[in-house]
Amino acid sequence: MAKLIDGRAIAEKVYVDLCREIAELKEKDVTPGLAVVLVGDDPASRAYVRSKDKMCRELGLHSLKLELPASTTQTELLSRVEELNADSAIHGILVQSPPPAHIDETAIVRALDPRKDVDGFHPENVAKLVLDDSSGFVPCTPLGVQRLLIESKININGAHVVVLGRSMIVGKPLALLLMQKNEKANATVTVVHSRSRDLAEITRTADIIISAIGRAGFVQADHVREGAVVIDVGINRVEDAASERGYRLVGDVAFDEVSKKASAITPVPGGVGPMTIAMLISNTVKAARQLL
C-alpha cells in the first residue's frame, strides 16, 4: 500500500519557515501585503478567497480582499489593478480565476506589475521560468507539487516524470520547473494530454506521475507501474447522495486501486490543495523581500 503524502502537514512546515521570514521583514518595518480581487459571486472562488485571506491574517500579513460585483467592467477592473500596482503596502496581487465571461483575463494578467504577480502568470514571469531566472514567480500549484516531492524525500533528480495536462496553470509551468538544471529538479519530463496516443503506455514508464487534467478517476491502475509516485492535482465534484452537500470531491486518480500499486500518493482533498495556498503566501513574502 502506498505511503500517503500529507499536504496539510507539509504546508504547516512551510508556514513555520515563512513565520521566521515574515518576522525578519517586520524588523525592517515591512509587512508583506497580499491583495486578492474577486469579481462576481462564484461559490468555489469565494470559498478559496476566504481561505487565502484567513491564512494571511493568521500569519500576520497585510491582507486586502476586494470583492467586486459581476457587473464590474474591464475598464473598472483594470483601474483597480493599477491602484494596487501603485500601492506600496501591497506586494502581491492575485485576481481570482475565472472572472465573469465579459472580462478579458489575459489583459488583466498583463496589466499586473510583474514584480507583484504572485500567481506567476504574467509573460515576464513565464519567461523567467523558461530562462531559469529565480527572481521570477512560479505558479503556486506547480511550486507546491515540487515542494511536496522534496519534503517527501522523493528523488526528482534524473527521474522520468509524466505530467498529464498542458495548461498554463499547472502542466506547462510544472514541466518547465521540474526540468530545470538544479538539484531540486533535473527530471526528464514528458507531457501528455487528450490527444496523446498510447497514453497508458507512456504513463507506465514514469517514476513520477502528476495528473492535472480535471477528469474524475481518469488515472487507473493500468496507467501506473508498480512503485511509481502519483501526485493528484485534480479536484472534481462528483454527485454523492449520501453526502450532506450532495457531492464529494475526488481527484483525477482512482485512489483505491492506484494506491495499491504506487509507492507514494497524494489524497484529494488534503494533498496538493493546501500547498497551493502555502506557495501563494511564500511568493508574497518573496515579493516583499525583492521590493525592499
Q: Which residues are catalytic?
A: 52, 96, 119
**Sheet holding 188-192: strands in order across?**
3-4, 264-265, 229-232, 208-211, 160-164, 188-192
Q: Is the dihedral of CA 210, 213, 214, 215 positive or negative?
A: negative
How far apart are the C-alpha atoms of 94 and 117, rounded to whole Å? 7
User: Among 11, 16, 36, which Cα is nearest to 144's?
Assistant: 11
CA distances from 273 to 44, 115, 143, 231 (A): 13, 24, 12, 11
Torsion sign across C-alpha atoms 221, 223, 228, 231? negative
The three-class DSSP label of residue 62 is strand
Would you put residue 102 in left (φ > 0), alpha (ψ -120 to 50) or beta? alpha
What one-letter code names the amino acid at 125?
N
Give the whole-angstrom CA distance, residue 76 versus residue 59: 31
CB burial of 188-209 (b: ≥16 within 10 Å; e: otherwise) equals ebbbbeeebeebeebbbebbbb
Cβ atoms 152, 264 nearer than 8 A:
yes
Peptide bond between residue 123 and the one before it cis (omega within 30 degrees of 0): no
- Output DSSP code: residue 223: G
